[in-house]
Amino acid sequence: MTVTDQLAQYLASGLVVGGVYALIGLGFVIVYSVTRIINFAQGEFVMLGALLMVTFEARGLPAAAAFACTVAAVAVLGALLERAAIHPLRGAPPLAALIVTIGASIALRGGALVVWGTDPVALPPFSPGPPHHVLGATVVRQGLWVLAVAAVVFAALWFFFTRTYPGIAVRACAVNARAARLMGIRVDRMFLLAFALSGALGAVAGAVIAPITYATYDMGLMLGLKGFVAAILGGLVSPPGAIAGGFLLGLLESFSAGLISSAYKDAVAFIVLIVLLLVQVAGWLPWRVAEET
């Protein structure tokens, strides 16, 4: 295996994992930019996406229908979470809501433990077959699915946020909630929409990676943290930033595991997070991690 082949392999692995981080990171950004809440239950949406996908397929639904049901179910759950736990807290400081989301994440994990048990479960790839070879790198078919689904989601979100009335309304709330309210936008509806969207995004991420990683009740925590790092890397309020941040993190992990040492792969991700947060506090960052309203 030549050095270029190795580099191509790191690039390919980094892009696939990065696509997942980007999807999860987007969920954080959409909720944060509208509500100023960091939703720590985002990782659990991913876990539910993966486990529900497995369950629906096991019940005999074809993959496409199972995928649609999974995404719809988790989107509804995201909306329910907002109505049940976040909405009653409006007016309270964001810290209170943040703690509620941590509580929700623990509750969802506990619930999944009861429903699905502790054993990891496998999901067949969307299209079975041997892996592809691109420029010396091996890419499993499901890896291409991850990238393709991520691309479709990014395009759909771009269309939604720039070309549709509700999308523009969501952005208006993100820029200035009070002004948006004065313009007649129902801000609390936008909160609901943001949570439902982030639930759907998490479910998409979970469903596409389940064939690669298996699904377990406790997979959400680590994936959620990685998605959070991706969102921070992208400035926390910018969807394109989160996408770039996700891919950057995936590549960073893959290349640092390959070129430096795999012992420090996770350390690299979290050192990046800590450095970014410190630099942000010191005000050296060219983009702002969290815009004040």
Partner 1 sequence: MRVILALALSVLALGWGVPAAYAQEAYKIGAIFSITGPGSSLGIPERDTALMVEAEVNAKGGVKGPDGKLHPLKLVIYDDASDETKAVLAAKKLIDEDKVTAIVGTTLSGTSLAILDTVQKAEVPLVSCAAAAKIVEPAAERKWVFKTPQSDFLITGVLADYLKAKGLTKVAWLNVDYAFGQLGWIEFEKAAQKAGLTIVANEKFGQKDVDMTAQLTKVKAANPQATVIWSIPPSASIATKNYADLGIKAPMFQSHGVGNKKYIELAGPASNGVLFPAGKLLVAEQLTDNDPQKAVLLAYAKDFEAKYGARNTFGGHAWDALYIVLGAMQKAGTDRAKVRSAIEATRNFVGITGVFDFSPADHNGLDRRAATMIQIVDGQWRMAK
Residues in contact with partner 1 by CB under 8 A are 1, 5-6, 9-10, 12-14, 16-17, 20, 113, 118-120, 122, 131, 138, 140, 209, 212-214, 216, 218-219, 221-223, 253-255, 257-258, 261-263, 265-266
Please say which residue, 130 or 286, places its beta carbon nearer to partner 1: 130
Least distance to partner 1, CB of residue 292, Å:
35
Contact predicate 196/76, CB 8 Å:
yes
Provide the phi-psi class of 290: left if phi over 0, else alpha when psi is between -120 and 50, else beta.
Answer: beta
263 three-state secondary structure: helix
121/184 Cα distance (integer angstroms): 47
Give the nearest distance from C-beta 123 to partner 1 in angstroms.
Answer: 10
CA gap 97, 30 in Å, rounded: 16
Distance linking the first and last C-alpha atoms of the chain: 53
Other beta carbons less than 10 A from residue 290's beta carbon: 15
Q: Measured from the CB of residue 132, what is the shortest distance to partner 1 in angstroms?
A: 10
> What does the block give as tokens for 276?
């970014």
Q: Could you tell me the smallest distance in angstroms from the CB atom of residue 75 to partner 1?
A: 23
Short-list 164, 184, 160, 180, CA closest to 172: 180
Pick 118 or 293: Cβ nearer partner 1: 118
Instruction: Indicate the residue type of 117.
Output: G
Q: 263 or 282: whose CB is closer to partner 1?
A: 263
Q: Is 238 left (phi over 0), alpha (psi -120 to 50) or beta?
A: beta
> What is the rounded distance in angstroms from the CA atom of residue 22 to the CA atom of residue 195?
17
Give whichever of 20 and 153 is closer to partner 1, judged by the CB atom: 20
Q: In terms of CB distance, is 8 or 197 closer to partner 1?
A: 8
CB of 231 to partner 1, least distance (A): 18
Number of H helices, E strands in the chain: 11, 2
Shortest spacing between CB 29 and partner 1, in angstroms: 21
Residue with smaller CB distance to partner 1, 94 or 117: 117
